[in-house]
Structure formats: C-alpha cells, structure tokens
Amino acid sequence: MELSIKSKEFLDGFDHIDSNVLDGYGKNKLDLFVLKINANEFDYNSLSDRLTDPVIEYSLSRKVRERYSDRPGTLSKKAREKFLDYLKNKGELGELLLYCFLETHLNAPKILSKLELKTSTGHYVNGADGVHFLKLDDGNYQLIFGESKTIKSLTTALTDAFKSIYEFKNCVNAKGDEKSGLPFEKSLVSDNLEKEEFSEDEINFIRSVIVPKRDNDFEVDDAFGVFVGYEVAISAEDKRLPNQEFRLKVQEQVKSEVKKSFEHIKSKIEEHELTGHHFYVYVLPFTNLEDSRKKIQKEITK
C-alpha cells in the first residue's frame, strides 16, 4: 500500500536537529524538528504552504480524492471545509502534523484518519488521532495509533499524551463505556475500510494486520505515534542576534529543553505500564503557541 503523501516536500520546512533512542532496545524514539527560521522568526508561512496539499490527503478518503481527481478546485474546497468544520469542535493542528511526520519521516502509510472514522462520542472519548501501519525490517508489522498534544508546557503536553494513550489502551473514559478504547477502534477501522479506495487484496491485507489471522506469515504489534507541540520562550535580546547566531542558539535551547524531558517520558511509560509498545515521538517548538496555531489553521482553511 502506498503512502498517501507522495512527496517529501513537507520535511523541507524543518531542520531535523536531533534524533534519540530513549531505551536500550531501540523501541522508543524521539525526533526533534524545528521550523526553518527566517530573519529570526519561525517561518509559519512556509509551514502553512506545505500543509496545503497534505490537508487534502488527511481530511478526505482515497475514494473521495479519486472521485474528484479531475476537479482539483472542488477537491481542495471539500477538504478545507471538512477540516475547518472539524477544527470548530477540536482545534487540533497537531493531528495533521503527526499524520505528516508519520507518512513523510517514518514512512508509515495512513489507513484512516479520525476525520474519516464514523464515530459517536457516546461510544468512545479517547480515540486515536489516526491509524497507520509500518512494515519492519524483519518482515513483521506495527499498527500505529496517533496521539497529539499542543500545550505550552512540554512536560504537561507529554504527561497528557501518555495519560491519553493509557486510557485509550485500557478502555477508560469518564462515561465508562465498555466499547471505548483500542479494541473498539480496531473494529471501527476494519468496518470502514470500504470507504477508502483500497483494492480487495489491500483490504484483506489491512484487516489481517488489524486482526491477525492464524495463517499470517508475520506478527503484528500495537505501537504509538506521538506529536507534541510546545511553546519555546525567546528573549528580546536573543531576537537581536545575527541570523546564524540566532538559529544556533534557538536550536541549542530547544535541544536542551527536550533532552530534559527524556526521563519524564520514560517514567510515564513505566507508570502507565506501556513498556511493551514502541513509541515514535515527534516534538516541535512554537513561539506564541496559541496565536501561531490559529494563524496556521486559518491559512490552510481559507
């Protein structure tokens, strides 16, 4: 099955400044990206431009995209309307960014995104932001469930992300609905595959990944992709630095801040008894987080 984002152009808008393995087995990985900097400011305009096409792949199923493939204007309008309607209820740019990183950096194809899932809030609260799969070097597979948080405090964002994953895995929510969580979502994804432009062979393969069969010649494990956007504080004095000095200082600052979070991540994985899973964590700093998020969301939906 092919990636839904055909180009790696999305990654050109960032500097990939650090990549870390957080355990002794290579299971838990954290990648730190920083937006390209122009004149001592994060280039949010460039990010908005690079999200214009991915928002179509994220918001609309392959079947819908195929139906309107010869009507690009209509296709774009439908995607923007659907994403905008979703933002009114959720307002979470992080879900779109996680989707982009999983596809373009991890090379994990999207099966379905939350926008495509037919869900009822009465059935589950803590559903995954999207579902991807990854073929491993040993021929086995991972089913990757997405979780994103954009919160000013890096520590709070990480705490909330791993708490949500714990609740999702253990079918916990405030209403106590027995169908909520990981098993229900797998069933939900399997039931909605026909709405995608998958061939019959692809549907059978994906279902064998979601619900492994006894005659499979591969193993499947549940894993998690995590996106965390947080706010980095930059002083007025630093903004006066020469451009290259500013870039280096900001990059060193965020590397230091994120490095301090490693032990916190490991402690949350232990606390929530999630040590059997693989985690792919993506961290991205923002300046003026709330205003920047609103500006990007406005640009990609207008």
User: How do residues 196-246 score in pLDDT, each as one tens digit?
Assistant: 777 888 888 899 998 888 889 999 999 999 999 999 999 999 999 999 999
In tens, the pLDDT along 77-98 reads 888 887 877 666 555 789 999 9
Which has more pLDDT, 80 or 176?
80
What mean pLDDT value characterizes the chain?
88
Q: Evaluate if residue 73 carries a pLDDT over 80.
A: yes
* Cβ atoms 222, 142 nearer than 8 A: yes
CB 75 within 8 A of CB 60: yes
Q: How do strand 141-150 and strand 220-231 relate by DSSP bridges?
A: parallel
Q: Where are the beta strands (DSSP E) in 39-165?
A: 41-42, 110-113, 130-135, 141-150
What are residue 280's DSSP bridge partners?
29, 225
Which of 60-69, 203-212, 262-271, 286-295 tops mean pLDDT?
262-271
Residues 2-48: pLDDT tens digits?
Answer: 898 989 999 999 999 999 999 999 999 999 999 999 999 999 999 99
> pTM (2 decimals)?
0.92
Task: Specify the pLDDT at position 119.
Answer: 42
* Non-local CB neighbours of 200 within 8 Å, separated by 6+ positions: none
Compute the distance between CA of residue 51 and CA of residue 43 in angstroms, rounded to an integer.
13
Query: pLDDT at position 177, please?
Result: 58
The whole-number pLDDT of residue 121 equals 37
The pLDDT, as a whole number, for residue 193 is: 80
Report the pLDDT value the prediction gives residue 79, as an integer from 0 to 100.
86
| Gyration radius of the chain's alpha carbons | 19
Looking at the predicted structure, is the pLDDT value of residue 118 above 90?
Answer: no
Q: How confident is the model at residue 263 (pLDDT cuts 50, 70, 90)?
A: very high
Instruction: Give the pLDDT of residue 41.
Output: 97
The contacts of residue 235 (CB under 8 Å, 6+ apart) are: none
Q: State the average pLDDT over residues 53-64.
A: 85
Name residue 269's amino acid.
Answer: I
Reduce the DSSP state of residue 152 to 3 states and report it: coil
**What's the rounded mean pLDDT across residues 175-189?**
71
* Among candidate residues 1, 96, 109, the one with its CA nearest the CA of residue 299: 96
Question: Mean pLDDT throughout 92-107?
Answer: 94
Residue 148, both tokens: 């994103």
Class of residue 205 by CB neighbours under 10 A (exposed 0-12, middle 13-18, buried 19+): middle
Bigger pLDDT: 53 vs 191: 53
Instruction: Give the confidence band of 63 by pLDDT, cuts at 50, 70, 90.
Output: confident
Q: How many residues does the chain have?
A: 302
Distance from C-alpha of 273 to C-alpha of 289, rounded to nearest angstrom: 31
- State the pLDDT at residue 62: 80
Pairing between strand 141-150 and 37-38? unpaired
β-pair type (28-35, 279-286): parallel
Q: Does pLDDT of 120 surpass 50?
A: no
pLDDT at position 86, please?
64
The pLDDT of residue 47 is: 95
